[in-house]
Amino acid sequence: MLPLPVLEEAASEMTNYRGCGMSVMEMSHRSEVYQNIFREAKADLKRLLKIPDTHEVVFMQGGAILQFSAVPLNLIGRTGKADYAVTGNFSSIAMKEAKKYGEISVACSSEDKNHTYIPAQDDIHVSSGASYFHYCSNNTVYGTEWKYVPDTGDIPLVCDMSSNIMSSPVDVSKYGVIYAGVQKNLAPAGMAVVIVDKALVGAEHPLTPELMKYRVMIDNDSMLNTPPCYTIYMLGLVLKWLEKQGGPEGIARIKVEKAKILYDVLDDSKMFKGNASVPARSDMNITFRTANDELDGVFVREASHAGFENLKGHRAVGGMRASIYNAMPTEGVEKLAAFMRSFEARFHD
């Protein structure tokens, strides 16, 4: 979801942006009016996430998946080695991609229990001389979330925050690179936000495309080519909305309340079972199932008839998944909880 007030504001200025006579979609990215939109969005992002001067924000096309290649291409050249935490679908794809570019070690994995948990700090084994340690802070498909920032000593942390960015405060100074496809919590699809420690850039693989070099994108303020102008404009509107919710601090309080509403249903239920182990439960993606696939199917169908969309779980996990990103109102979550309770009352024998 995108916040309704944001969609309404975008609709109201769709054909004529604040009296300038054209739509944001029609503007030159070099025009003064667009440069202001761009600068403000970037400044708001920096302010809301308290990004220190050591780090720079770049907007890159290709979504989070392109970052699976950009991260090793930019960083692995320092030592030729990198460590990956494998805790779900996307971190495993990221690791496979990185293997093209260097020697990759699995520092920890939750594969033994079908990614239902997050490894503890003691279970993380970093290799000496790794250029970076990569992990995914929220596993969108499995519904698990890291509740701590891994301690990897001198090895820079690289984190895929695609599905939980801006849902709680982050100490950016602890990270070498943070990246996130924007389409869950920040904007419509079309790019990734990448936050880079400037001290790490400049050792990229010589074959790295110019558009994927962090150094070049920083030097050109994300405008080496025409950026996804409308997506960045929408990002700006969403950031203003996020600020009104109290920024990451405010959202953190709201998201815990929202997730609790659904986890309370699961905990009280004799029919629904959560997929994730309790300490690792995600506040963004609530994964659950009934006792059998057939009943799961009935649930998804009936939910859709009642107006609840996209509840079918990813094929790797099955069951159901309620994605309650930042823009999902508490009211929507309460309605789903009520629907789940009434479904159980009707179908549980």
Binding positions for ligand PMP, 86-115, rule CB under 6 A: 90
- CA 304, distance to chain mean position in Å, is 25
* Cβ closest to ligand PMP, residue 265 vs residue 328: 328
Nearest one of 160, 134, 136, 154 to 76, comparing CA atoms? 134
Binding positions for ligand PMP, 179-208, rule CB under 6 A: 181
Interface residue with ligand PMP, options 136, 242, 284, 322 (CB under 6 A)? 136
**Residue 65 interacting with ligand PMP (CB under 6 A):** yes
- Burial of residue 244 (number of CB atoms within 10 Å: 0-12, 13-18, 19+): exposed
Q: Which stretch binds ligand PMP (CB under 6 A): 21-29, 49-57, 61-69, 286-294?
A: 61-69
* Cβ closest to ligand PMP, residue 188 vs residue 202: 188
* Cβ closest to ligand PMP, residue 166 vs residue 340: 166
Q: Which stretch binds ligand PMP (CB under 6 A): 144-152, 156-164, 211-219, 271-279?
A: 156-164
In the DSSP assignment, the letter for residue 172 is G
Q: Which stretch binds ligand PMP (CB under 6 A): 104-112, 159-167, 233-241, 261-269?
A: 159-167
* Cβ closest to ligand PMP, residue 181 vs residue 274: 181
Rounded Cα distance between 47 and 239, Å, is 10
Q: How far is the CB of 306 from ligand PMP (least distance, A)?
A: 25
Interface residue with ligand PMP, options 69, 74, 162, 208 (CB under 6 A)? 162
Q: Which helix (H) or strand (E) holds 249?
A: helix 247-268
Rounded Cα distance between 130 and 133, Å, is 7
**Residue 145 interacting with ligand PMP (CB under 6 A):** no
116 neighbors 277 (Cβ within 8 angstroms):
yes
The three-state DSSP-derived secondary structure of 7-43 is: HHHHHHCCCCHHHCCCCHHHCCCCCHHHHHHHHHHHH
Rounded Cα distance between 15 and 22, Å, is 6
Phi, psi of 85 (to 5 degrees): -95, 125
Per-position x/- string for 6-35, each x denoting binding to ligand PMP as judged by CB under 6 A, each - no binding: ------------------------------
Size of the site for ligand PMP (CB under 6 A): 10
* Cβ closest to ligand PMP, residue 139 vs residue 290: 139
For residue 197, the SS3 value is: strand
* Cβ closest to ligand PMP, residue 3 vs residue 63: 63
* Cβ closest to ligand PMP, residue 25 vs residue 189: 189
Residues 6+ apart with CB under 8 A from 332: 324
Interface residue with ligand PMP, options 56, 83, 97, 160 (CB under 6 A)? 160
CA dihedral 80, 84, 89, 94 (to 10 degrees): -20
**Residue 140 interacting with ligand PMP (CB under 6 A):** yes
* Cβ closest to ligand PMP, residue 63 vs residue 227: 63
Q: Which stretch binds ligand PMP (CB under 6 A): 95-103, 160-168, 205-213, 246-254?
A: 160-168
Q: Which stretch binds ligand PMP (CB under 6 A): 24-32, 158-166, 235-243, 317-325?
A: 158-166
Q: How far is the CB of 141 from ligand PMP (least distance, A)?
A: 7
For residue 106, the SS3 value is: strand
Q: How far is the CB of 189 from ligand PMP (least distance, A)?
A: 7
For residue 264, the SS3 value is: helix
The three-state DSSP-derived secondary structure of 272-317 is: CEECCCHHHECCCEEEEECCCHHHHHHHHHHHHHCCCCCCECCCCC
Question: Which residues does residue 290 pair with via DSSP β-bridges, in sequence order?
Answer: none
Q: Which residues of the chain form contacts with ligand PMP (CB under 6 A)?
A: 63-65, 90, 136, 140, 160, 162-163, 181
